[in-house]
Amino acid sequence: MIKSKKAKELKVNNSESEFSTPKPGRRQVPEEYKKMWREENKTSQEKKEKMPSAKKQVKTVKADKKAQVKEKPAKVVKKAEPKSVKEPKSVKGKPVVSEFKETEKRGGKWIIEIKSSNEYIAVLLASNGQIMLSSEIYTTEEGARSGIETIIRGIESGVFIVYEDKNGNYYYKLKNASNRLLCVGEIYKSKSQCQGAIESVKRIAGTSQVAKNLVHGDYVSYTPVKKPKYEVKKGLEGKWKIETVDGKYSAKLYASNGQVMLATEGVSTSSSAESAIESVKKNCAAGNFVVEKDKFGRFYYKLRNAQKSVICIGEAYETLDSCATAIETVRKYAKTAILTK
């Protein structure tokens, strides 16, 4: 036991003496290196004493997490707020004043639009501001407001007729039981869209509120050619034909290449259809056309009589120039076409 103790002391003394007494053949360690080594050992030992054990660290982290869970406030569940419905957008560049109650915003809205001097129309808007239909022209605001009730009655008991133009576009007309035209829908790119619009009109027309304020609108700027002179070669005059559709007689104007240029409203007798041809000729010569835009930004024309009732509606065109060219072509063929039976 004593011998072992002395051996340990001797070993310690030898390790310490490595810096003091060099062994033969070894280079002596400089004093500054000795000092550096002692300081580094001392610092590392202090760090070890201060550093907590791995187990203590794990326990501390778990304790902190438990404390966070306990301190976390209870989740507050908020009641879902009712979704807001978009107000109707502006029509023809003019804002529509909203008069909806919160419970009525899911429906549509009727507005009275003044197009020009002594020209008023009733327009039905969906809740997102989309135009669903436009009435015939009324000479007074009161007439347009009364016309809304007439249209609503017509929607309940009248007939919707879907038309397809030469470009594959669709629009509808609403007529009453006496075949009088009440209003016209927008032009749609597919038949299903047009039929869907009819169903929407049936659903919202009767419950939609009527705005008190007028909305100012206008037509697309267009001036027909005054007193046009048309030179048509013999055999290229075009044709007028009276055809029956669903038991009604309609006069159709065909170009020389067989393309349908326009069709009049269906009437009950062939003689009435012939009278409609004369009306078309007269109003085409007078240039009684107005041009409007559909919701897709396309241009289309309406031919009207002296009382500003619509005789027929033209195709939809991508540009105003194309629409104006179509109008002048219709005027040419309306004047020179020959009635065939």
209 and 244 both lie in a single domain: no
- As a whole number of angstroms, the distance between CA 130 and CA 146 comes to 22
106 and 165 both lie in a single domain: yes
**For strand 159-164 and strand 170-175, is the pairing parallel, antiparallel, or unpaired?**
antiparallel
Q: Is the pTM of this model over 0.75?
A: no
212 and 254 both lie in a single domain: no
Helices (H), 270-319: 270-286
243 and 333 both lie in a single domain: yes
Specify if 64 maps to a domain. Answer: no
Q: What is the pLDDT of residues 3-62, one digit of tens each?
A: 454 444 444 444 444 444 444 444 455 565 556 656 666 665 665 555 555 455 545 555
- What single-letter DSSP state applies at residue 317? B
Specify if 61 maps to a domain. Answer: no
Q: What is the pLDDT of residues 209-239, one digit of tens each?
A: 999 999 998 889 888 888 777 777 777 788 9
> Looking at residue 318, which CATH number applies to its domain?
2.30.29.80
253 and 155 both lie in a single domain: no
Count: domains in the chain: 2
Specify if 244 maps to a domain. Answer: yes
106 and 210 both lie in a single domain: yes
Specify if 54 maps to a domain. Answer: no
Q: What is the pLDDT of residues 166-198, one digit of tens each?
A: 888 899 999 888 888 899 999 998 999 999 999
Q: What is the pLDDT of residues 93-136, one digit of tens each?
A: 444 433 333 334 457 999 999 998 889 999 999 998 899 999 99
Residue 277 has a pLDDT of 95
> Please, what is the angle between helix 320-336 and helix 270-286, to 10°?
120
- Are 138 and 159 within 8 A, CB to CB? no
- As a whole number of angstroms, the distance between CA 202 and CA 210 comes to 16
Stretch 66-73: mean pLDDT, rounded? 51
192 and 251 both lie in a single domain: no
Specify if 91 maps to a domain. Answer: no
266 and 191 both lie in a single domain: no
**Which of 55-64, 219-228, 261-270, 276-285 has the highest mean predicted lDDT (pLDDT)?**
276-285
Give the number of other Cβ atoms within 10 Å of residue 286's Cβ: 13
Residue 283 has a pLDDT of 95
324 and 293 both lie in a single domain: yes
- Are 311 and 330 within 8 A, CB to CB? no
Specify if 310 maps to a domain. Answer: yes
198 and 106 both lie in a single domain: yes
Q: Which of 183, 216, 249 is the last residue of a domain?
A: 216
Segment (H or E) for 39: helix 31-50
Return the higher-pLDDT residue of 72 and 327. 327
211 and 243 both lie in a single domain: no
Specify if 193 maps to a domain. Answer: yes
Stretch 156-161: mean pLDDT, rounded? 86
Return the higher-pLDDT residue of 70 and 323. 323
- Are 230 and 314 within 8 A, CB to CB? no
Return the higher-pLDDT residue of 199 and 26. 199
Q: What is the pLDDT of residues 293-341, one digit of tens each?
A: 988 899 999 999 998 888 889 888 999 999 999 999 999 999 889 998 7
Range of the domain at 281: 239-340
Specify if 305 maps to a domain. Answer: yes
246 and 212 both lie in a single domain: no
